[in-house]
């Protein structure tokens, strides 16, 4: 066995075992016949095509056509819920501040949350491109707001995430990314979704559950901490149990998980390496689920 043949056989292990048993010798014969005299390594193009073909076959088996319809509905639903989650989080924070009579702080928080509500409304009404444009504008605004806030701090000040001002200039890259990442993920979900909307859940049912959870979060923010936390967890737990009982609900929860992680990331995530790793993992998951959704037939 030549070195070239050994390397081709190694690349063919990317294909499922039963596929190799039927087609390996034929594929190997074609590849060897097309190789140049004296060639000892597969070309970059051949290696890429073999790996891509093997992964594509494995992915098709993991997510057959019937399953992909569920993924399409889940991606559309998750893209609609992402801006609603951002709006609900802002609304809860504003309610908590108002409950402590800090109205001067509650009003800016509420105003800052309103663009997320607008993005949700546009997506709900089927204005997909307007929702995408507003979502990306919201991400840019988050980064710009963080930059302006950090540049205005006096030299030597430390803030959440250990941002240190050096010669009047803060180390702002990680904090800008942390501030803009939830809005960026939300905008990416809207961009990748084939047609953001409630799908098989139904508009009325989704609106009723979303309104109930938002109301529970707002009321919970106004109550004493222990009672408020119980109310919020009860509302979210009820929705989670109902969602996990359906194929679309389970997939929606999986797609929303990285978005929820970046939305509530603690301050120890603010170093650039950790944020980059989380961003890459989130992008990979969103890319995979978007591919599954877009290769499915509309319901």
Residues 190 and 267 in one domain: yes
Domain boundary among 14, 38, 61: 61
Residues 34 and 100 in one domain: no
Residues 193 and 248 in one domain: yes
Q: Which of 269, 290, 291, 289 is nearest to 279 (CA)?
A: 269
Angle at 91 between CA 88 and CA 93, to 5 degrees: 110
- The dihedrals phi and psi of 164, each to the nearest 5 degrees, come to -110, 125
Per-residue b/e over 20-51, b at no fewer than 16 CB within 10 Å? beeebeebbeebeeebeeeeeebeeebbeebe
pLDDT classification of 67: cutoffs 50, 70, 90: low
Q: How far apart are CA 121 and CA 210, in angstroms?
A: 13
Residues 75 and 101 in one domain: yes
Number of structural domains (the chain) is 2
pLDDT of residue 172: 52
Q: What is the pLDDT of residues 178-198, one digit of tens each?
A: 677 888 888 998 998 888 888
**Mean pLDDT for all residues in the chain:** 76
| Owning domain of residue 184 | 65-294
Stretch (H or E) spanning 45: helix 44-62
Domain boundary among 61, 83, 98: 61
Q: How far apart are CA 2 and CA 25, in angstroms?
A: 15
Domain boundary among 61, 89, 106: 61
pLDDT of residue 132: 92
Return the structure tokens found at 28: 């190997």
Residue 167 falls inside a structural domain: yes
Judge whether 221 and 92 are in contact, CB under 8 Å: yes
pLDDT of residue 108: 81
Residues 188 and 257 in one domain: yes
DSSP string, 192-214: HSSS-S-GGG-HHHHHHHHHHHH
Residues 48 and 123 in one domain: no
pTM: 0.68
Q: What is the pLDDT of residues 71-109, one digit of tens each?
A: 888 888 889 888 988 888 888 878 777 777 777 777 887
SS3 for 139-165 is HHHHHHHHHHHHHCCCCCCEECCCEEE
Residue 299 falls inside a structural domain: no
pLDDT of residue 154: 62
Residues 129 and 251 in one domain: yes
pLDDT classification of 168: cutoffs 50, 70, 90: very low
């Amino acid at each position: 066995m030549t070195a070239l043949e050994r390397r081709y056989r190694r690349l063919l292990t990317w294909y499922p075992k039963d596929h190799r048993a039927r087609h390996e010798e034929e594929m190997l014969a074609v590849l060897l016949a097309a190789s140049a005299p004296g060639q000892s390594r597969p070309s970059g193009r051949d290696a890429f095509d073999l790996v891509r073909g093997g992964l594509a076959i494995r992915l098709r088996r993991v997510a057959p056509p019937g399953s992909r319809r569920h993924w399409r509905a889940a991606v559309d639903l998750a893209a609609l819920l992402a801006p609603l989650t951002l709006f609900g989080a802002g609304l809860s924070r504003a309610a908590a501040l108002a409950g402590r009579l800090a109205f001067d702080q509650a009003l800016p928080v509420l105003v800052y949350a309103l663009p997320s509500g607008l993005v949700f409304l546009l997506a709900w009404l089927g204005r997909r491109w307007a929702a995408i444009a507003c979502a990306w504008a919201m991400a840019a605004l988050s980064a710009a707001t963080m930059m302006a806030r950090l540049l205005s701090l006096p030299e030597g000040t430390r803030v959440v995430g250990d941002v240190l001002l050096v010669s009047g200039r803060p180390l702002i890259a990680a904090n800008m990314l942390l501030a803009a990442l939830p809005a960026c993920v939300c905008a990416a979900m809207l961009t990748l979704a084939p047609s953001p909307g409630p799908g098989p859940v139904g508009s009325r049912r989704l609106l009723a559950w979303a309104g109930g959870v938002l109301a529970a979060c707002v009321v919970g923010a106004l109550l004493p901490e222990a009672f408020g936390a119980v109310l919020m967890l009860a509302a979210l737990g009820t929705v989670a149990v109902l969602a996990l009982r359906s194929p679309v609900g389970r997939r929606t929860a999986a797609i929303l998980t990285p978005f929820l992680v970046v939305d509530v990331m603690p301050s120890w995530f603010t170093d650039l390496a950790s944020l980059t790793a989380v961003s890459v993992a989130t992008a990979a998951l969103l890319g995979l689920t978007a591919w599954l959704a877009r290769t499915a037939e509309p319901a």
